[in-house]
Amino acid sequence: MSDSSPEPELNWQDEAQAVIQDVREFVKDISVADKLESNDRMIYLNITTLEGQEVCVQLTAVGFRVVGRTHNDVASEGERWFDTPYSLLASVSPEYNSKFAESLIEKLQNISHDN
């Protein structure tokens, strides 16, 4: 017998806030897009990379994709989807990789100092 219960609905505001918390140290700015309407299937994020490049990102159950080259813009929907915000940032922000590596080294050093 198959389970026909509906999948639980994601709270995209909560999802967006979790992403913001996870990546905020690796971007200049990140926030929920204030001029684009979210719904029960997606939400938009405005990101300013470490290089100062603005992008608008769509977050859905499929993943993340760049949909605009400025904040609150969906004019250039990308076809490439990313599973994580980290992989998306690695593709649009060369400085992200350096900052992420620095953060990882710092965390590892803190662990070794604690032992």
Instruction: Reply yes or no on whether the pLDDT at 111 is more than 70.
Output: yes
Side chain identity, residue 83: D
Q: How far apart are CA 24 and CA 100, in angstroms?
A: 11
| Dihedral of alpha carbons 75, 79, 81, 86, sign | negative
Q: Return the bridge partners of 45, or none.
A: 32, 57
Q: What is the pLDDT of residue 88?
A: 97
pLDDT digits 0-9 by tens, 90-105: 999 999 999 988 888 8
Q: Is the pTM of this model over 0.75?
A: yes
Put residue 72 in one of left, alpha, beta given phi > 0 → left and psi -120 to 50 → alpha.
left
Q: What is the pLDDT of residue 79?
A: 86
Both tokens assigned to 56: 């608008």
Q: How far apart are CA 47 and CA 30, in angstroms?
A: 4
Domains and CATH numbers, the chain: 12-114 (3.30.2280.10)
pLDDT digits 0-9 by tens, 38-88: 999 999 999 999 999 999 999 999 999 999 999 999 998 778 999 999 999
Both tokens assigned to 65: 């994709």
Outline where the chain has alpha helix (H).
Answer: 12-23, 85-92, 94-114
pLDDT digits 0-9 by tens, 1-19: 444 444 455 699 999 999 9
